[in-house]
Amino acid sequence: LLSAVPQIGEIAQITAEQLVNIGSQDIDEEIWIKLSCRVNELLNCDDIDGIVITHGTDTMEESAFFLQLTTNSTKAVVLTGAMRPSTSLSADGPLNLYNAVAVAACDDASDRGVMVTMNNSIFSATDVTKMHTTDIDAFQAPENGKIGSITGSKVTFNTPPYHHTLTFPIKDGIKLPKVGIVYSYGGIDPDMVTFMIENKYRGIVHAGVGNGNIHKNIFPILEEGAREGILIVRSSRVAAGPVTLENEVDDNKYHFVASQGLNPQKSRILLMLSLTKTHNWEEVQRYFNMFVL
């Protein structure tokens, strides 16, 4: 990859290593933990000023958000990938890699948390999501927009730096609690939820309709699960907009957690990490409240 983009050597001194070699559709929690531990190790090195991670686009937003919640450094961490293979016309991988290095090497990139750079745009790991299956402009931030852009080797940010305050320290070998996602649809069968309860899931993210609404077929099951100590998060299958607390559902009554500005896949990550600290639904809600749109 590096030899294909020799111009990178003009903007940064690069050392490279390969942690895993898989399609990103096969990513799992074990790899996230391994990646996070290595990133934190490197961030603590005085001779490392930033990190670029090449990643498949299928689950890039999840890996970026996991790193956002498990790293604590002012140094830049940037993920990038490619929507087109290297053999295609107008392959986007080389430019995306060059741009990611340019962002990581930029002095103004510090104290911005984990970022994703694709198609000349820079996104926060919290906001970014894949919005198209094949287009090179697949990555967007539906609510807050991009935080910057790259033109040539010039990096421009349109938001001020910030330091994210919610961090979950993890160690290599830790086993994260089992959390699943239930995707809602008209006439959903109760078995979609009872399966998770019977298999001792510690948390369930419900990708509901609208503002996190829950079908009558599964509402009693989720309610019972919450009474038994399973953390229930109301998210939404809708592409944009928050799931608001105490709006469509009486969250306080049922001890449900509203996902606020996080989509189902990011809600699952935050819930897994939250369960390493607490099983109190009110504490977990406070974590999610940090992501109000």
In order, the DSSP letters of 91-130 are: --HHHHHHHHHHHHT-GGGTTS-EEEEETTEEEETTT-EE
Task: Report how far residue 233's alpha carbon sits from residue 293's, in angstroms, rounded to the nearest whole number.
Answer: 17
How far apart are the C-alpha atoms of 276 and 254, rounded to whole Å?
Answer: 22
pLDDT for residue 253: 96
What pTM was estimated for this model as a whole? 0.96
Q: Are strands 203-208 and 231-236 parallel, antiparallel or unpaired?
A: parallel
Query: By three-state DSSP, how is residue 29 classified?
Result: helix
Task: Please tell me the predicted confidence (pLDDT) of residue 31.
Answer: 97
Q: What is the crossing angle of helices 264-274 and 281-288, to 10°?
A: 130
Contact 215/199 with Cβ under 8 angstroms? no
Query: In this structure, what token pair is assigned to residue 44?
Result: 């603590």
Q: What is the CA radius of gyration of the chain?
A: 20
pLDDT above 80: residue 164: no
Sorting pLDDT into bands at 50, 70 and 90, what band is 162? confident
| CB within 8 Å of 134: residues ≥ 6 apart | 83
